[in-house]
Structure 1
Amino acid sequence: MSVRILALVGSLRAGSHNRQLAEAAAKHAPSGVEVELFEGLADVPFYNEDIDNEADLPAAAARLREAAGSADAFLLFSPEYNGTMPAVLKNAIDWLSRPFGAGAISGKPVAVVGTAFGQYGGVWAQDEARKAAGLAGGAVLEDVKLSIPASLTRFAETHPADDTEVVQGLTEVVTRLTEQAAPAAA
């Protein structure tokens, strides 16, 4: 049995600490689990029902849906922008929520984690991402959380993949997500 987890990172910045968290999750995934970072969220246009049809569907949105369709679960990484999740992550959730009731995220396990500069590690943004993913049809693991505060100082000289506490937290999250996804992947 193999479980495929699609990681969506809500920061587009090349040196993003949330991207580094996603890289750490992929690096330390248990045997039989693949954590794939989706590349290209910056290319996905804002959701617009007028272009969500076979003739007009943007290629970037089609690639996102295809990657999501073959995933067994989702791991969302959210920084906090002005007290909420970044627009790029919300937009990805919107594209994956369609068609209504049968989107690529529908019924699949979703966990949300992240890091931010503030003292709470982006919990507001992560709560909003959980809410949006649940409304989109995802099976959100509400009790699976990892919010890492003070990202600028904590990861100034250490990649999250080399931080023992962070790796332990990510491993727990990926393990719980895998447990929920495993029956569907079998």
Structure 2
Amino acid sequence: MMTKYKIAVIVGSLRKESFNLKTAKALMELAPESLSLELVDIAGLPMYNEDLEETTPKEWLALRKEIKAVDGLLFLTPEYNRSITGVLKNAIDVGSRPYGKGAWDGKPGAVISVSPGNIGGFGANHHLRQSLIFVNVPTMAQPEAYIGGAADLFDDKGKLTNDSTRDFLKEFMEAFEKWVITNAKKQQKMFNF
């Protein structure tokens, strides 16, 4: 029986017609059978404020529990002012606490940035990687995924119509599958001396 790896898909855009959300849905269709992708809703998270840890908001607890229960993380981000969105940064901050017990710790991840612009969210992609290093998410280095010209990639129903982008995303997901499996084996070795 094939091992199934549960993957949290975190989309850093709140817009209903988000290109990142459309891409996430395309990835769910293109993912190898061993990966089970589930969208994680970060829209309703109260802004991180350490003072609230005494009576931790239920939304924070739910996010932390959901992230701790997965085997891997797939982040999709637009680029806002050469960086990631506030909602995505807030989710990372919420999941990283309480200090030393963060939900992200050790979960293999990957980053895709999607933008209508030509450089495909390059700045956001790399800013997100910086934060992921600090919260100890081993992030897949290759292939890098900067999806530009996003406005021309989907039909009016939100379906991916560009074949070369579909092929690239399929290859990306196959590489991510290997990344998740490799990291799962490393974790097993660490705990099974």
TM exceeding 0.5: yes
1:60 Cα deviation after fit: 1.4
* TM-score, normalised by the number of residues in structure 2: 0.86
Once the two structures are superposed, the pairs formed by residues 1-186 of structure 1 within 5 Å of their partners are 1-39=3-41, 41-53=42-54, 56-155=55-154, 157=156, 159=158, 161-182=160-181, 184=184
1:164 Cα deviation after fit: 2.2
Q: Which ranges in structure 2 are unaligned for 5 or more consecutive residues?
A: 189-193
- Partner SS state of residue 137, structure 1: coil
Structure 2 distance, partners of 1:63, 1:161, is 31
1:163 Cα deviation after fit: 2.8
Structure 2 distance, partners of 1:151, 1:171, is 17
Larger Rg: 2
User: In structure 2, what residue type is equivalent to 1:91?
Assistant: N
1:179 Cα deviation after fit: 1.7
1:167 Cα deviation after fit: 2.3
Task: Compare relative contact order (CA 8 Å, sep 6+) and give the higher one, 1 or 2.
Answer: 1
Identity %: 31
Structure 2 distance, partners of 1:97, 1:74, is 14
Checking the alignment, whether the CA contact within 8 Å between 1:160 and 1:166 is kept in structure 2 is no
Cα distance change of structure 1 residues 160 and 101 upon mapping to structure 2, 3 Å threshold: farther
Structure 2 distance, partners of 1:113, 1:90, is 15
- Partner SS state of residue 180, structure 1: helix
Structure 1 distance, partners of 2:4, 2:16, is 30
- Partner SS state of residue 52, structure 1: helix
1:168 Cα deviation after fit: 2.1
